[in-house]
Amino acid sequence: MVESTFDYIVVGGGAAGCVLAARLAADSNKSVVLIERGRADTNRWIHIPATFFKALQSEDAEAVHSEADPSLDGAVYPVPQGRVLGGGSSVNGMIYMRGQPQDYNDWESRYGCEGWAYKDVLPVFIRQENNQRLSNKFHGTSGKLCVADPTPPHPVSKAVIEAATNYGLPATDDFNGAKQEGVGWYQVTAFEGQRQSSAQCFLKPELHRENLTLLTGVLAERIRFNNKRAVALEARSEDGRELLIHARSEIILTAGSFQSPKLLMLSGIGPREQLVKHGITPVHYSPLVGANYQDHVGTPVTRELTGVKGLYGADKGAQALKHGISYFAAKRGLLNSNLLDAGACVDTSGCGRPDVQFNIAPFAPGAPGTPPMACHAVQVHPMTMRPTSRSRLGLKSSDPNDAPLFESTALDTEADFDTLRRGIRLAQRIFQTLPLRELVGDEIWPGVNVSTIKGSNTLDDAIRAQARTIFHPAGTCAMGSGDNAVLDAELQVRGVENLRVADCSVMPALVSGNTNAPTMMIADRCADFILGLDGVF
């Protein structure tokens, strides 16, 4: 066994871990080790914006597959996740969206997470951001995270935006400003032909520091405790060596919504029935570890294109060669694009805040983990923004190599079904509006054989068959004020000492939008708590 000692152990080198480890090393004289079970982000598909779907199909991503989901007629529900330095920020679609102010106000007022209201988190978003266009009370220009407009904007996406505004949706040039509602171009974490991942923006500029150590290809197996105090991490390298890494100060889990609760349970923190079932010595019974799982669920309304081209075939043959030359010679052209370049946030229920997000893109998406469909097409992809369905994670065994037990009920509530029904119908109306209606042909999904009128059973059946993750799992180590909450408001694991969680799993309720930016914000706030800097900006 190889032993080592550091002040801080950060477990998980994803979007959160890269931010947190970099901050702890840069803003203190303490030693920090960042542990990532995947490899370094050397895959070229990671760094070219338009090739993120290739990165998702590589060894740098893995899918967690659910048990049969009763809400989806028994289908298995796969959720791909990054397994590489940078985590999701290295393989995602690079959309920069923070969510709505009320999301964070609800964290404080409804869930008892004091200090997490919008007024508390906005300064963190601002200080992280290096926005290439916007500079106002909502945006920063001197941070490490480069945020820019998508390039080049695709003409098919432009036609969708025009059709949506002609239909009556308001236009917006900032989904993270005074209000989220509207249709327009996303801002993205890509700039000048380079993905702006948390590894690229936050971690790599600090790796020269003597007090920062990065270990890739290392699987965290269990946390060791001395009574209730977290003191060390048991881990294993790719070549099978046993590692014991001691922590003088704290251990912080940033391994994501699947792996962080799994590691807590393997270490003796979790529901009694899970620990007993797998013969794990209990350290603290925490009934909500692995509970409260939630994700945005989508159903991409898709039409064929007629007379104009989308992105089909752009990665093959002469087209691929042309785009490659343009990119590598001058950082121009399609490979600069994140492909998911436009979107909308719409209040379809009249509740006063957007409840459906639409991704707009000139291609036909395949199922999660598969390439786009083989035709020129355009999607207007509705998804639930504040899902009410909840799933649960457990353990399959006490073996750290096993994936967690994923008991999915992705569409378990009528409210979520109704949100998707409204989103689908609105997408179809946008397709019927000029100038888009002159560019599209047959409907690929839901298709001519599916009735979308109210009360249609065929629509509900189609939704169950088509429903897919938007890659935003959250909530499985939720913070809150109650004794049963997994974490307190400073992200400390209740019932033990010197152990925190700081990733998407801490959200008591999923934010209304993409989760990459909020996850990096959470990690930055955790650094504030550890360093005693909360409220100092």
Q: Which residues are catalytic?
A: 472
Four-residue CA torsion sign, 452, 457, 458, 459: positive
Specify the 3-state DSSP secondary structure of 46: helix
Q: Count CB-CB contacts under 10 A for residue 174.
A: 18
Q: Which residues pair with 299 in a beta bridge?
A: none
Q: What is the rounded CA–CA span in Å between residue 228 and residue 283?
A: 7
**Residue 354: partners with Cβ closer than 8 Å, 6 or more residues away:** 100, 180, 181, 345, 346, 347, 385, 512
| The dihedral sign for the CA sequence 222, 226, 229, 233 | negative
CB 195 within 8 A of CB 189: yes
Neighbouring C-alpha atoms within 13 Å toward the C-beta of 506: 31
Nearest to 149 by CA among 416, 356, 390, 337: 337
Cα–Cα distances (Å) from 488 to 82, 290, 529, in that order, read 27, 16, 12
- Enumerate residues 6+ apart whose C-beta is below 8 A from 273: none
Distance CA 18, CA 78 (A): 26
Q: Is the peptide bond before 446 cis (omega within 30 degrees of 0)?
A: yes
Is residue 335 within 8 Å of 51, Cβ to Cβ? yes
